Amino acid sequence: MEKIIRVNMADLSTRIEAVPAGWAGLGGRGLTSTIVAAEVPPTCHPLGPSNKLVFAPGLLTGTPAANSGRLSAGAKSPLTGTIKESNAGGTAAQMLARLGIKALIIEGIPKADAWYSLHVSMDGVTVQEETELVGKGNFAVIEALEARLGKKTGILTIGPAGELKMTAANISVKDPDSKIRSHGRGGLGAVMGSKKIKFISINDEGAPKVPIADPEKFRTASRAFAKALLDHPVSGEGLPTYGTNVLVNILHEAGGLPTKNFTAGQFDSHDKISGETLHETIVARGGKHKHGCHAGCIIQCSQVYHDKEGKYVTSGFEYETIWGLGADCCVDNLDDIARADNLMDDIGIDSIETAVMFGVAMEAGILPFGDGKGIIRLLEEEIAKGTALGRILGGGAGSVGKAYGVTRVPVVKNQGIPAYDPRSVKGIGITYATSTMGADHTAGYTIATNILNVGGFVDPLKKDGQVELSRNLQIATAAVDSTGMCIFVAFPALDIPECLPALIDMINARFGISLTGDDVTNLGKHILKVERQFNIEAGFTKEHDRLPEFFKSEPVAPHNAVWDFTDAEIDEFWNF
Amino acid sequence: MEITVKLFAMFRVGRFAAGTYKYREGITPADIAGELKIPEREVGIVLVNSRHAKLDHRLFEGDTLSLFPLVGGG
């Protein structure tokens, strides 16, 4: 039987509850957002006792469905003040699903000045005081816990950034190689830190298989689904070979690669940090250009990056991080970017927010553009140590902009704008503006259709069709984020007609239900509206669905494009 | 006329990354892909001077043509 586990840190009590009927059909983002909206007062302080941190595996997580091992984390975000869902790979989601845990809800704040850990197993959940690992980086936590509890232990952990409640802090998830995946965006690591939880360990020994109501139907659907993933050129060949970083050269060529803190759309040294160069470097140094973030991933977009001596430097080395520290900070040395990526994993800080932040910090004069070694120094000496400067930097792009009086600060709802310039890729600007999460490319990835010719083509430089494109993608994404699926299943789903029905068939076979395509669309719409209602009650209005002023007034080369949507045009987004 | 041709991802394998070459008037991205033995169905994205274009787009002196297979990320 599936269950809800609650931990109240105020009195260190734990409770196992039956799943309420209204939550039974939900998973992942749909469930975390529903719980946060129902139980967290929207006006509460995100780091105070009223906020709750919720983890939920997706509807298909733990089943043999390909690419279904994502875990959603939700809370009110200390970075944006909005509702937040951030999902990640790693081993924890499948373990929680096998343990029958539909959601883990962490409430309250301890009275004592102490740190704690949670341990989840077939026996339920326990709370223990933790002393040994307080102050340690995430890699040391994983190493120590594997020695203490066994190699197979699932781990969710925060680094120094989360302990210090920095608003860019993430929650790290152990991956199949004992390295790190991240619930990156929105500062959820600070929420975990506010609850004084250093880590959550998971042991799924003795857990049964995830039950499937109609195994034969499930097998048929899951074969069709896997075939679609492998047949599509993006998920079947491009991503496993070049990783997400293949986008550097595409966005550069299309003039949408934000460069030097969003002052240009092309980076002269693009080929030094490109996916092609990354691939060659990895192969030459004996790293891995194919790697999955969770068992059952057949896309394998990730990679393992080695240094010149062939020693591990980092993994899960993504386009957004490489773009941000590369083009946006004008650093053209992949080794420096890789070292910084590994440090961000260890410190437990979002590599998108932090990369965007460094672009603003360079504009502020804290360090010069192009100073990769300076980035490493600031990560090690200031952020990891929580100095006064480190805390400003650890607050993200908006924090540095405020502290240093910078006006070119690429954020929406205080969350850093990722790797696509909204002036020259206009659909993604609508997503940044309207997403319930603050600026988030994954919320409605119009790059697929604006740039990559997936799901048709909508001209990135024109306004026509962008609001509808972003709306359709945000609705679909909210639904996909509830299944536990990797968002990259959207590439085949947009192009191969058998893909989405197979996904729905798997959900139906898993639960013995009969959802239709319309039901799934309605679920996506419902989730967005629940999230938006939370934000409205938290004090957000349509005037917050706007991009920073400089995007309107500063044309970006090479297209000399500006952000030219009227407020009324943006507000059409919510007309559904 | 001279056209700069840029190739990306697996299109570079056994070919080149970028170069400026002489072509006849009226040539199209499809023609150039054909000369490079890149099957049309494998061409995912065509950019001419940083703008999306179709395979039958007419190229002119000084244009930059970028050819990508269907790839993605995010």
For chain B, say whether A409 makes contact (Cβ under 8 Å): no
User: Among A139, A140, A115, which Cα is nearest to A127's?
Assistant: A115
User: Among A5, A67, A4, A61, which Cα is nearest to A28's?
Assistant: A61
Looking at the structure, do residues A462 and A560 belong to the same domain, yes or no?
yes
DSSP run (H or E) holding A118 = strand A115-121
Looking at the structure, do residues A307 and A229 belong to the same domain, yes or no?
no
A43: in domain: yes
What is the CA B44 to chain-centroid distance, rounded?
A: 11
CATH of residue A483: 1.10.599.10
B59: in domain: yes
Q: SS3 for A357?
A: helix
CATH of residue B49: 3.10.20.30
B74: in domain: no
Amino acid at A155: I
Domain span holding position B7: 2-69
B11: in domain: yes
CATH of residue A187: 3.60.9.10
Q: Report d(CA A321, CA A337) in Å as an integer.
A: 8
Q: What is the pLDDT of residue A197?
A: 98
Looking at the structure, do residues A274 and A231 belong to the same domain, yes or no?
no
b or e along A501-517 (b: 16 or more beta carbons within 10 Å of the residue's beta carbon)? Answer: bbbbbbbbbbbeeebee
pTM as predicted: 0.98
Q: What is the pLDDT of residue B73?
A: 81
Our count of domains for chain B comes to 1
A431: in domain: yes
Q: What is the pLDDT of residue B74?
A: 73
User: Among B31, B15, B14, which Cα is nearest to B65's?
Assistant: B31
Q: Report d(CA A434, CA A177) in Å as an integer.
A: 37
> Given A360, A395, A421, which residue is the final one in a domain?
A421
Put simply, the chain A residues between 211 and 240 with a CB less than 8 A from any chain B CB are 233-234, 237-239
Domain span holding position A118: 3-202
Instruction: Collect all residues of chain A within an 8 Å Cβ-Cβ radius of residue B13.
Output: none
Query: Per CB distance under 8 Å, which residues of B are interface residues toward A?
Result: 6, 8-10, 12, 17, 42, 44-45, 47, 50-52, 66, 68-74
> Given A150, A181, A202, which residue is the final one in a domain?
A202
Q: Which residues of chain B have pLDDT under 70?
A: none
User: Among A243, A273, A236, which Cα is nearest to A370's?
Assistant: A273
Instruction: Collect all residues of chain A within an 8 Å Cβ-Cβ radius of residue B73.
Output: 238-239, 242-247, 275, 301, 319
φ/ψ of A94, rounded to 5, equals -65, -35
DSSP run (H or E) holding A7 = strand A3-8
Q: What is the pLDDT of residue A45?
A: 98
Looking at the structure, do residues A265 and A133 belong to the same domain, yes or no?
no
Looking at the structure, do residues A533 and A473 belong to the same domain, yes or no?
yes
Check CB contact under 8 Å for B70 and A454.
Answer: yes
Q: What is the pLDDT of residue A433?
A: 98
Q: What is the pLDDT of residue A1?
A: 77
DSSP per-residue letters across A82-115: SEEEEEE-SSHHHHHHHTTEEEEEEE---SSS-E
Count Cα atoms within 13 angstroms, Cβ side, for A76.
26
Instruction: Collect all residues of chain A within an 8 Å Cβ-Cβ radius of residue B74.
Output: 244, 247, 319, 441-442, 445, 447-448, 487-488
Burial (CB count within 10 angstroms: exposed 0-12, middle 13-18, buried 19+), residue A131: exposed
CA distance B58 to chain A (A): 19
Q: Which residues contact A535 (CB under 8 A, 6 or more apart)?
A: A42, A82, A83, A436, A544
Check CB contact under 8 Å for B45 and A250.
Answer: yes
A472: in domain: yes
A207: in domain: no
Looking at the structure, do residues A251 and A399 belong to the same domain, yes or no?
yes
Q: What is the pLDDT of residue B12?
A: 96
Looking at the structure, do residues A21 and A61 belong to the same domain, yes or no?
yes
Looking at the structure, do residues A156 and A196 belong to the same domain, yes or no?
yes
The minimal CB distance from B70 to the residues A234, A244, A488 is found for A234
Residues A99, A172, A95: CA angle, nearest 5 degrees: 15
As beta bridge partners, residue A16 has A5
> Given A421, A452, A483, which residue is the final one in a domain?
A421
Looking at the structure, do residues A440 and A348 belong to the same domain, yes or no?
no
Starting from the edge strand earliest in sequence, which strands make up the sheet with A197-202, in order? A124-130, A115-121, A197-202, A154-157, A171-174, A180-183
A34: in domain: yes
A527: in domain: yes
Looking at the structure, do residues A70 and A103 belong to the same domain, yes or no?
yes
pLDDT, one tens digit for every residue, chain A (576 residues): 799 999 999 999 999 999 999 999 999 999 999 999 999 999 999 999 999 999 999 999 999 999 999 999 999 999 999 999 999 999 999 999 999 999 999 999 999 999 999 999 999 999 999 999 999 999 999 999 999 999 999 999 999 999 999 999 999 999 999 999 999 999 999 999 999 999 999 999 999 999 999 999 999 999 999 999 999 999 999 999 999 999 999 999 999 999 999 999 999 999 999 999 999 999 999 999 999 999 999 999 999 999 999 999 999 999 999 999 999 999 999 999 999 999 999 999 999 999 999 999 999 999 999 999 999 999 999 999 999 999 999 999 999 999 999 999 999 999 999 999 999 999 999 999 999 999 999 999 999 999 999 999 999 999 999 999 999 999 999 999 999 999 999 999 999 999 999 999 999 999 999 999 999 999 999 999 999 999 999 999 999 999 999 999 999 999 999 999 999 999 999 999
A234: in domain: yes
Our count of domains for chain A comes to 3
